Amino acid sequence: MKALRARRFDPRFAGIGAILLAQAAAAGPFVKFEHLADEGLVSQTFRLTAPRTVHVVCEGASDGADDEMYAYGWILNLQSRDVVWSLRASTARRARGRNYAVESDVTLPAGDYAAYYAAFGDWRSRVKIIRFMGREIGRIEIDDGRKKRSRRDSERWGLSLQTGQPDDPAVETPLPPPSPDPRLVVQITGTGDNSLEQRGFTLPGRMPLTVYCVGEIDPDEGTKNDFGWILEARSRKKVWELDKSNFKHAGGARMNKYARETITLPAGDYMVSYSTDTAHSPEGWWGPPPYDPDSWGITVWAQSAADAARIRPYADDVDGQAIVALVRQRNDSYSAQGLTVTKPAQVRVYALGEYQGRWADEGWIEDFRTQRRVWGMSESNTLPAGGASKNRMVDEIVSLSPGDYVVRYRTDDSHAFKEWNAAPPNDPAHWGITLLGAGRGNDRSAFQLFDPEERESRDSNDLARLFRVGDDARVQAGFRLDRRTQVHIVAVGEGQAGEMYDYGWIEAANGNSVWEMTMRNTHHAGGADKNRAFDGVIPLERGEYRVHFVTDGSHSWDHWNADHPEDPFVWGIRVWLEK
């Protein structure tokens, strides 16, 4: 069962009520956290100029496991980002209630460190743990304003650090802001909620890199909430990502995950991305934070400063490489661009749209002759685009055979370029769909643009085309055949419970129906179950015919009362000569 996020931590209250004493060892601990707020995170940096044995006294709370701590302290090495000591239920002494305590010594080499303490007692008082046969199966967060945890458990929460030498000259605290790491290639950290950030780099040759990513992934379902990935810029293939195959528990809440790996990449251009959802980030932790909260995001290092100096920034020039660009799409927009592909080719598709259970704004590619969709945006091939959670993006390579295509994009009546009803995406200017050549040295001569409406009227084999039919309509068109002919019919309409409501048919000159759209000869057209489609070939004798299409008072082109079909533009009927 997935936890419900009913409330999240307000960073304005971080550390309120915390008393931090950071001074020379002669006067006691050089770090001391006590009288902690019930929902907050405090920290203190320090430097050891020589190895020291540090005496640690810490008390916190847990539901019994190391990944169930909700009040805990730890020490982080600021160079390696490794946790060198932490309060863990598995190694601490059980104290009063759910409290766990430890008093021990830890030997630390010279270096820079940060001591942290996270206290999330109020969060724990809102969480209901559901267990079956002693095993946790889920958590529900309830914030009814009444259930409050007793403060007795938190009175002893805290952390203190001291060495055995009075006025220890090897201890310096606090530290000034750190200098930039000369090995740094890309760093996207401190990312807030509803965000997507991207950075690019170019490798001059094959090179090992270290990738460090901290985020939020459901350990049971594998759902990625906050995560990072790296793409090869030309092929748009993922060369690394944070997922179930490589993550480890990052401390704090069970969904805090991290990975640190060294990968080797060939020469080329790469894009590093990090995406967050609506809650649990440095902007505001809804639950216990990870051990390295300042690294929430993704960081890439070279193995040496010399290697890093050879790596150059890379900018993704979407506009300069565009073959088709239907962008800056406003409300109630329907855009189309014809594209002829003269030889087998790959294109990069970069599209942004709006999805909330169904697509409100979306782009796709269809075959010009048949109107069949050959590529489209889906929930599975898109990622968060930053801003509101309904903003989605796709950036992938699509193979196209020689032929004629139409690139389409449509929007509904709200939330589009410069008319946002919620937070816009990180790249609002590309709201729409863009096609770019893929790979180095791609041959732009393989692509030719055309006007799809002009092409349809000029050289179409259509006998009748009645598309985009609205509510309460009765439309028709006639045609004549000089000999017995095979005709192709594509029709999309509405039907359910054995009855058609929006449908087409063909009549001979004597008024008899020679073909009709029924529930039995149609199939699901995508979207709502009642969307029905026919796609087939029938023979017709020499003579005159009329094609009809009728609709009822609801659920038709641009007036949907349920999910529209996969290709809403073809709501109606088309008949053409089958070659």
Record the tokens describing residue 217, joined without a space.
């992934």
Q: Is the pLDDT of residue 139 over 60?
A: no
Question: Which of 1-5, 14-18, 67-71, 398-402 is predicted most confidently?
Answer: 398-402
* Backbone region of residue 167 per phi and psi (left: phi > 0; alpha: psi in -120 to 50; beta: other values): left
CA 573 to chain centre: 37
d(CA 215, CA 257): 5
pLDDT given for residue 138 in this prediction = 57
> What is the DSSP-derived secondary structure letter of residue 12?
G
Residue 401: phi and psi, rounded to 5, are: -80, 160
Q: Is the pLDDT of residue 244 over 50?
A: yes
pLDDT given for residue 311 in this prediction = 98
Q: Is the pLDDT of residue 10 over 50?
A: no
CATH of 322-454, one of 2.50.20, 3.30.450, 2.60.120, 1.25.40: 2.60.120
Enumerate the H helices of 282-335 as residue ranges: 305-310
Per-residue model confidence as pLDDT tens digits over 195-217: 889 999 999 999 999 999 999 99
pLDDT given for residue 355 in this prediction = 95
Contact present, 64 and 192 (Cβ < 8 Å): no
What integer is the mean pLDDT of 551-557?
Answer: 95
Q: Is the pLDDT of residue 148 over 70?
A: no
DSSP 280-341: -BTTB-SSPPPS-GGGBEEEEEESSHHHHHH-EE----TTTTEEEEE-S--TT-EEEEEEEE
Question: Above pLDDT 90, what percent of the chain?
Answer: 69
What integer is the mean pLDDT of 75-99?
Answer: 94
What integer is the mean pLDDT of 98-112?
Answer: 96
Q: How confident is the model at residue 23 (pLDDT cuts 50, 70, 90)?
A: very low
Quick count: other Cβ atoms within 10 Å of Cβ 237? 11
Per-residue model confidence as pLDDT tens digits over 491-503: 999 999 999 999 9
What integer is the mean pLDDT of 392-403?
Answer: 95
d(CA 20, CA 13): 15
CATH number for the domain whose boundaries are 461-577: 2.60.120
pLDDT given for residue 234 in this prediction = 85
pLDDT given for residue 35 in this prediction = 85
Q: Is the pLDDT of residue 452 over 50?
A: yes
Question: Above pLDDT 70, what percent of the chain?
Answer: 89
Q: How confident is the model at residue 268 (pLDDT cuts 50, 70, 90)?
A: very high
Q: Is the pLDDT of residue 20 over 50?
A: no
Q: How confident is the model at residue 7 (pLDDT cuts 50, 70, 90)?
A: very low
Contact residues for 136 (Cβ-Cβ < 8 A; gap 6+):
129, 130
Contact present, 411 and 329 (Cβ < 8 Å): yes
- Round to the nearest angstrom and report the end-to-end CA distance of the chain: 55
Quick count: other Cβ atoms within 10 Å of Cβ 26? 10
pTM score > 0.85 for this model?
no
What integer is the mean pLDDT of 9-24?
Answer: 36
How deeply is 276 buried, as exposed, middle or buried, from its count of CB atoms within 10 A (0-12, 13-18, 19+)? buried
The mean pLDDT value of the chain amounts to 88
> What is the DSSP-derived secondary structure letter of residue 26?
G
Residue type, 283: E
What integer is the mean pLDDT of 478-485?
Answer: 96
User: Do 184-313 and 461-577 come out as alike in CATH topology?
Assistant: yes
pLDDT given for residue 150 in this prediction = 52
What integer is the mean pLDDT of 3-17?
Answer: 36
d(CA 549, CA 572): 6
Beta bridge partners of 44: 115
Q: Is the pLDDT of residue 66 over 60?
A: yes
pLDDT given for residue 182 in this prediction = 96
d(CA 8, CA 159): 24
Q: How confident is the model at residue 402 (pLDDT cuts 50, 70, 90)?
A: very high
Contact residues for 384 (Cβ-Cβ < 8 A; gap 6+):
194, 196, 275, 276, 277, 391, 392, 393
Per-residue model confidence as pLDDT tens digits over 521-553: 999 998 899 999 999 999 999 999 999 999 999
Q: Is the pLDDT of residue 255 over 90?
A: yes
Q: Is the pLDDT of residue 566 over 90?
A: no
Coil, strand or helix: which one is 66?
helix
Q: How confident is the model at residue 131 (pLDDT cuts 50, 70, 90)?
A: low
Q: How confident is the model at residue 15 (pLDDT cuts 50, 70, 90)?
A: very low
pLDDT given for residue 439 in this prediction = 63
How deeply is 216 buried, as exposed, middle or buried, from its count of CB atoms within 10 A (0-12, 13-18, 19+)? buried
Per-residue model confidence as pLDDT tens digits over 350-372: 999 999 988 999 999 999 988 88
What integer is the mean pLDDT of 111-134?
Answer: 77
pLDDT given for residue 576 in this prediction = 92
Selected residue with higher pLDDT from 10 and 337: 337
Contact present, 410 and 403 (Cβ < 8 Å): no
* 3-state SS string for 392-427: EEEEEEEEECCEEEEEEEECCCCCCCCCCCCCCCCC
Contact present, 291 and 409 (Cβ < 8 Å): no
What integer is the mean pLDDT of 342-355?
Answer: 95
pLDDT given for residue 573 in this prediction = 97
pLDDT given for residue 352 in this prediction = 97
Question: Which of 81-90, 143-152, 365-374, 378-387 is predicted most confidently?
Answer: 81-90
DSSP 88-106: -TTTSEE-STTEEEEEEEE
Residue type, 268: G
The length of the chain is 579
Query: Tokens 């004597």 identify what position?
Result: 510
Domain 184-313 has CATH 2.60.120.380: yes
Contact present, 49 and 110 (Cβ < 8 Å): yes
Contact residues for 571 (Cβ-Cβ < 8 A; gap 6+):
467, 468, 469, 492, 493, 502, 556, 557, 565
Prior bond to 293 cis, omega within 30?
Answer: no
Q: b/e string for 27-56 if b means 16 or more Cβ within 10 A?
A: eebbbbbbebbbbbbbbbbbbbeeebebbb
Question: Which of 46-55, 59-68, 126-135, 313-322 is predicted most confidently?
Answer: 46-55
Contact present, 196 and 386 (Cβ < 8 Å): yes
Q: Is the pLDDT of residue 396 over 80?
A: yes
Tell me the domain boundaries of the chain: 11-172, 184-313, 322-454, 461-577
pLDDT given for residue 532 in this prediction = 97
Coil, strand or helix: which one is 154?
helix
